Amino acid sequence: MSSEGKKADVRLKVRSASPKRKAREKSPRKSPRSPGQKSPGKSPRKSPHRKNTNILVDRFKPDKDQKKSKYKLKIRKSQIVHPQEVTESVIKITAAIFKKFDADRNGTISKGEFQQALGKIYNISHEQACDKTRLLMRDIHDEGFHHSRQSLENIDFNEFLNAVAESRTAKKGDKAYEIKEMVEKAAWYYGATKFVAKFYHPHKYDEYTENYKCCPPPIFIPLVSLFQLGVFIYFVEVHNGCGEDGLGDMSKQCPEVFDSMWAYQYTSAYYNEWWRFITYMFLHASGVHIATNLFLQLIVGVPLEMVHSWRVIVLYFIGGIAGSLAVSIFDERTDVVGASAGCYTLVGAHVANIFNYYSIMPFVWPRIFIFFTIFAIDIAISAYQKYEVGNTSISYTAHLAGALTGILLGAIMLDELPHHEGKWWKIIKNYGGMLIIVAFMLTAIIMNIVEPQQP
């Protein structure tokens, strides 16, 4: 081999052994482009201010280094500790922060990811971030939900959701207060301070008024009112047994209504006609009678139903039954028609609602004044009618029984929204009220079975 061949061979060996040369040979050469030509690899940047986009989503946009694959977080109801506290705003803020902390977007926040995120939002050193991570992960696991010891090294979405929900009502000194500070720091770092400030410090009335729902609309009370009006028209138009002006007089009883098989009669228990204890609510003895009851139950019942849904109609009928049972015990030889007991149950339930949510309900004192004025006027009229005029056509026993049922049972059944309440007061209210209602109704039923009023 010639010396020139040897030199060429050496040069080839040197070039083939160079890793930089290999990398340059493998990488494709870029073709030159004109000055006005755009790069084919880059797409035009979209404006971040898109229409119909949630502000919270814009402020917590994913980082560039995060994957662009679909990323959905699932809420498992079995893992939610306090479902009543997990509102839409809690889910939004939790999901936004969780997605920022979950760098690899695998559905869990590892200890390393959590430490890195805390270092950014707190602007602290590596050692301080380690200590903060250990403390906050312990608090999140205490306030959240986890299945095994292995999950203590990670944070899943559901326990993070529980912890954030619990932090909303946390006070200084609570474990959840540290979580609250973390959420506020994250909001400041990612530019959503106003949203989180409203989340933790809402207007005190927003917590109650945001529960008014027009969709689905309140239908129970309006449907019952329409049915009662239809029954009244049926007795006036078809039977007309009360004369021309009989149904327009509140004090005049209508024999056609009171003799109906649906009216409550004092012999109902004696003849085992137990349906009368509830069907009497659909009959009314005069035009003024039904107008008063429909006005009261619509103006009081519809706002309650917008917040508490089906619970209101259950209260309404339980109050009606309590009214007829009270009449069967305390009023001798008295027949009753009308929905007054159910109406006063709704009034009593509204009073109970005021005391349940006095800290977050708007216009508390005007409401208290209005409803206690109604009770005072009713008591004054009942005393005057009974002792001065001698008129016993209005069953004030049913009114009182319905009102007390609404207060005692409404304080329990309508206590479903998150609010601040003493532990012992809640126990006394729930168990005490339930004990009184159950004891009264069982006693009344037993008395009607053992010793009913006879004809």
Catalytic sites, residue numbers? 340, 399
Tell me the torsion sign for CA atoms 403, 408, 411, 413. Answer: negative
Q: Which residue has the tokens 């312990």?
A: 138
Measured distance CA(125)–CA(346) in Å, rounded = 60
Cβ contacts of residue 2 below 8 Å, gap of 6+? none
Tokens, residue 327: 């009449």
- On whether the CB atoms of residues 140 and 98 are closer than 8 A, the answer is no
Q: Which residue has the tokens 């039954």?
A: 321
Query: Smallest Cα–Cα separation from 186: which of 260, 102, 245, 254?
Result: 102
Measured distance CA(335)–CA(260) in Å, rounded = 11
Measured distance CA(359)–CA(421) in Å, rounded = 10
Measured distance CA(99)–CA(71) in Å, rounded = 9
Q: Give the CB-side neighbour count of residue 250, counting CA atoms within 13 A.
A: 11
CA distances from 375 to 368, 399, 404 (A): 11, 10, 11
Cβ contacts of residue 443 below 8 Å, gap of 6+? none
Measured distance CA(206)–CA(326) in Å, rounded = 39
